[in-house]
Chains A and B, each alone.
Chain A
Amino acid sequence: EDKVVQSPLSLVVHEGDTVTLNCSYEVTNFRSLLWYKQEKKAPTFLFMLTSSGIEKKSGRLSSILDKKELFSILNITATQTGDSAVYLCAVEARVETSYDKVIFGPGTSLSVIP
Chain B
Amino acid sequence: GAGVSQTPSNKVTEKGKYVELRCDPISGHTALYWYRQSLGQGPEFLIYFQGTGAADDSGLPNDRFFAVRPEGSVSTLKIQRTERGDSAVYLCASSWTGNTEAFFGQGTRLTVV
Are A and B part of the same complex? yes
On A, residues with C-beta under 8 Å from B are 4, 6, 9, 31, 40-45, 48, 88, 90, 92, 94-96, 98-107, 109
CA distance A98 to B106 in the complex (A): 26
Chain A residues near B85: list those with CB within 8 A: none
- Could you name 17 residue pairs across A and B whose Cβ atoms are closer than 8 Å? A9-B40, A41-B106, A42-B91, A42-B105, A42-B106, A42-B107, A43-B43, A48-B101, A88-B42, A90-B42, A96-B98, A100-B98, A100-B99, A101-B45, A104-B42, A104-B43, A104-B45
Indicate whether A103 sits within 8 Å of B45 (C-beta atoms), given known contacts A41-B91, A41-B107, A41-B109.
yes
Least distance between A10 CB and chain B CB atoms (Å) = 9
Asked if residues B43 and A98 are in contact (CB atoms below 8 Å), the reply is: no
Tell me the interface secondary structure of chain B in the complex.
strand
**For the complex, is B12 an interface residue (Cβ under 8 Å from A)?**
no
In the bound complex, do residue B33 and residue A102 qualify as a contact, i.e. CB atoms below 8 Å apart? yes
Cβ of B50 within 8 Å of any chain A Cβ, yes or no, is: yes
Tell me, yes or no, whether B80 is within 8 Å of chain A by CB.
Answer: no
Interface size on B, residues (CB 8 A): 26
B41 at the interface (CB under 8 A from A): yes
Which residues of B in the span 83-109 have a Cβ within 8 Å of any Cβ on A? 89, 91, 97-99, 101-107, 109
CB neighbours (8 Å) of A95 from chain B are 56
The one of A41, A45, A99, A106 that contacts B42, using a Cβ cutoff of 8 Å: A106
Q: Is B44 an interface residue (CB 8 A)?
A: yes
**Which residue of chain A is the closest to B9 with respect to CB atoms?**
A41
In the complex, what distance in Å separates the CA atom of A4 from the CA atom of B97?
23
Q: Please, which residue of chain B has its CB at the minimum distance from the CB of A106? A: B42
For A48, list chain B residues within 8 Å (CB). 101
Given A42-B91, A43-B91, A103-B45, 13 more A-B residue pairs with CB atoms under 8 Å apart are A4-B42, A40-B106, A42-B107, A92-B99, A94-B99, A99-B31, A99-B98, A99-B99, A100-B98, A102-B102, A107-B41, A107-B42, A109-B40
A96 CA to B99 CA, complexed, in Å: 10
When distances are taken between beta carbons in the complex, the residues of chain A under 8 Å from B35 are: 104
Q: Tell me if B113 counts as interface (CB < 8 A to partner A).
A: no
